[in-house]
Chains A and B, each alone.
Chain A
Amino acid sequence: MFELHGGGTARRSSIGLVLLAAVGLALAVGSAALTLATGGPERRVFTAIAGGITVLTLFGVAVFALRRDSRSRFGRLLIVAGCGWFLTTFSASDTGVLYSLGRVANWLTEPLLIYLFLSYPSGRLTRRSERIVVRLAVGVVLTLFLPTAFLVEHYPTPSPWVTCGDQCPTNAFAVGGSDAGFVDAVLRPIRDTIAVGLYVATVVLLVTRMRRGTQHLRRALVPVLGAAGLRFSATVAYLIARRAGADDAALAPFGSLVLLTVPIAAIGFLVGLLSWRLYSARVLERMIAGLREPTDPARLRQQMADALEDPSLELYYSGPGGRGCWRDADGRPVDLGAERGAGRCVVDIADGSESGAAIVCDGALRDQQQLVESVGSWVLAALERQRLATALKASLQDIEASRQRLATAAAGERHRIERNLHDGAQQQLVTLRVKLELASEAIARDPAIGREALDEIGSDVGEIIEHVRSLASGIYPPLLADAGLEEALRAAALRASVPVSVGARGLGRYPLEVESAVYFCCLEALQNAAKHAPGATVVSVEIADDGELRFEVRDDGPGFSPDGSKDGAGLTNMRDRLAALGGTLTIESSLGAGTIIRGEVPTHLPSSAG
């Protein structure tokens, strides 16, 4: 969503701004020069300076707005306004064509000014009432003002922009058939009245926008509202005074005020834009401070609303249906299109992946798209961090639990070995010792009985040897150590109580712990099949190495339903053994369809210290 301006784009845009500033300066100087050169006797210098300042301030604020955001619609409007006001300064000329052009331009710039006031700071009209007022203003100009440009011989005087006093040039656009009486008596009162009404409406709309807007918007609109109020009340006062027949001397202050209110408005826009900039910095400061602590979606929404000073801010998440399906924090579906239609600012802060979020906030923030996007990206980062932290914690807990189980299993194993030795071999050896003493006494008394006793002792020793062998096998089968997985499993298969087939592909030799884990997992799986799959006719064991060492033990027994059943101790042990090596275990089973136990272990183990 971000446009990160590369060096080339930045340079091009700064060259463009320099050119724009130069053009503005040229036009400002040009208009002042034109007025001074061709203007009439009335307040020529003042009008020249006022005109120059007007054009200069409009272009200046345009440059400021576009420097901050090259996509700024308001900035572009200000350029149009600057050009328009450049044309209006022609009214100060006493040359017929220029004068007429300037007078017509005066009319055309009024709706533009209303548009600027109502669309500040985004350059867009967000409410229907605003659009109606602007359309009405344009309509009035096109129907009640422009046509008179072809009809009247003289434009209405006095006027704030003219310097010709009573000696103004005739209308260069008149096509004859002047019906000055109709225009003066009927049209002018109507259009003046409508104009007053439109000015009042504009001020009212600005006030309601302030009351409904965020705290910051209210602060930013104060200078704008002031300038609008000043401009319109000065214009209305001028119109009323003129209609009442006041003389030039009485009208002059109002006229001067009207001239100055446009640069004042431009400065009002600038102050507002500056305060937006400060606001952005504060927003980011607050967001950064707020995101230091762990957070959850509910608090995140509040933090953003506080940072952007917009209590109406909402945070929505894309639902399971993908990007078009949005839900609020409680899971209720939301229509973003409707929000956009209602003039709210909707910023999609997806990061290109499946899950994303959208911020819906006050329409005034539409001009702060980049800021809202920055805040949004922070939000996504915070949520992602939270999600990762939770997943990590869960993972660590799993690992800890697994480690505990492995440690317990290892201790249990040692205990089992000790018990086995004690109860088996040790007891047998103790008994053997007793028998040896008896035998030695018996030989002294009766050699034949003594020999019998020794034979018995011999077979006892054989049993002990068997016992110790099988114990060692249970710890680490010698066949596994000598010949590897395939041979050891084939031998285990022979001892199983059901027919077992063993297949192997691409096997080599692997580290002790890997072969041991796979061997005992297969053994456990075979024992499970023998115990829990009565009626299984065949069990197959397949092991293969295709980059990972995989095994599969399959039986055609009755199967079981794995949903909701916890793993037994055997399966848990298998999982833990494999997990300790970075491997995994999966079990597929359904009633009537047999059971498949699959496991895999990476064959390249990271080296561990010690």
Chain B
Amino acid sequence: MSTPRPANGPQPVRVVTVDDHVAFLRAAEEVIRATPGFDVAGEATSGQAALAIADEAKPDLMLIDVHMPGMDGIEVASRLTELHADTTIVLISAQDLSQIPAAAGRCGAAAVVRKEDVGPRLLRRLWQAHGCGPRARVS
């Protein structure tokens, strides 16, 4: 899943995408691969799987869909910010941002973005603005 770290260069930003729509996971994977300095660390299709993969892969950045059946993105974000303070959480949604519950602003997520805006430029901007911790690297 993740590319091996270059021996002497900066380490890539490791990203996990969480969405119950598999088509979008594929598109997100392509975006991450097409963005230099970023790497796919894993993916999950539910909130529970997201918590598991966060423990296992310890990603730098997680893109989490707000609207998922069962545990939604906001709840996942709340839990992750407690357990993995080093991980930057970004909530994504296919709906208009006005339809996002107010709780999204209090769950510890760094930002909320629309899914169709996800691309290499957005990834870089997000990391520049909200990336944190000793492994933060921007190329």
Q: Which residues in B have their C-beta under 8 angstroms from that of A430?
A: 24, 94, 114-116
In the complex with contacts A438-B30, A438-B34, A441-B34, A431-B23 CB distance below 8 A = yes
**Minimum distance in angstroms from A439 CB to a CB of chain B:** 10
Whether A471 sits at the interface, judged by CB under 8 Å, is no
A441 to B120, CA, bound (A): 9
Q: Which residues in A have their C-beta under 8 angstroms from that of B27?
A: 431, 434-435, 438
Please, how many residues of chain B have a CB less than 8 angstroms from a CB on the other chain?
17
The residue of chain A having its C-beta at the shortest distance from the C-beta of B30 within the complex is A438
In the complex with contacts A434-B28, A438-B30, A442-B34, A428-B23 CB distance below 8 A = yes
Q: Which residues in A have their C-beta under 8 angstroms from that of B116?
A: 429-430, 433-434
Whether B31 sits at the interface, judged by CB under 8 Å, is yes
- Are B31 and A438 neighbours in the complex by a CB distance under 8 Å? yes
Q: Which residues in A have their C-beta under 8 angstroms from that of B26?
A: 431
Whether B118 sits at the interface, judged by CB under 8 Å, is yes
- Are B94 and A437 neighbours in the complex by a CB distance under 8 Å? no
- Are B23 and A427 neighbours in the complex by a CB distance under 8 Å? yes
Whether A275 sits at the interface, judged by CB under 8 Å, is no
Whether B21 sits at the interface, judged by CB under 8 Å, is yes
- Are A426 and B30 neighbours in the complex by a CB distance under 8 Å? no
Task: Pick the contact of A437: B21, B24, B95, B119 (CB < 8 A).
Answer: B119
**Minimum distance in angstroms from B121 CB to a CB of chain A:** 8
- Are A434 and B94 neighbours in the complex by a CB distance under 8 Å? no
Q: Which residues in B have their C-beta under 8 angstroms from that of A442?
A: 34
A427 to B23, CA, bound (A): 8
Could you tell me which residues of chain B, from 85 to 101, have a CB within 8 Å of some CB in chain A?
94-95
Q: Which residues in B have their C-beta under 8 angstroms from that of A212?
A: none
**Minimum distance in angstroms from B33 CB to a CB of chain A:** 10
Whether A422 sits at the interface, judged by CB under 8 Å, is yes
A423 to B30, CA, bound (A): 21
Q: Which residues in B have their C-beta under 8 angstroms from that of A438?
A: 27, 30-31, 34, 119-120
A426 to B93, CA, bound (A): 11
Q: Which residues in A have their C-beta under 8 angstroms from that of B115?
A: 430-431, 434
- Are A427 and B34 neighbours in the complex by a CB distance under 8 Å? no
Q: Which residues in B have their C-beta under 8 angstroms from that of A423?
A: 21
A502 to B62, CA, bound (A): 56
A423 to B118, CA, bound (A): 18
A45 to B94, CA, bound (A): 124
A433 to B21, CA, bound (A): 15
As a 0/1 sequence over residues 97 to 139 of chain B, the CB contacts with chain A under 8 angstroms (1 = contact) are 0000000000000000011101110000000000000000000
Q: Which residues in A have their C-beta under 8 angstroms from that of B34?
A: 438, 441-442
Residues of A participating in the B interface, judged by any CB pair closer than 8 Å: 422-423, 426-431, 433-435, 437-438, 441-442
A422-B95, A430-B115, A434-B118 are known; give 9 further A-B pairs, CB within 8 A: A427-B21, A427-B23, A430-B114, A431-B27, A431-B115, A437-B31, A438-B31, A438-B120, A441-B34
Residues of B participating in the A interface, judged by any CB pair closer than 8 Å: 21, 23-24, 26-28, 30-31, 34, 94-95, 114-116, 118-120
**Cross-chain pairs A/B with CB under 8 angstroms, 16 sampled:** A422-B94, A426-B94, A427-B21, A427-B23, A431-B24, A431-B27, A431-B115, A434-B24, A434-B27, A434-B31, A434-B115, A434-B116, A437-B31, A437-B119, A438-B34, A438-B119
Question: Which 6 A-B residue pairings sit nearest by Cβ, starting from the closest?
Answer: A433-B116, A437-B119, A434-B27, A430-B115, A430-B116, A431-B27
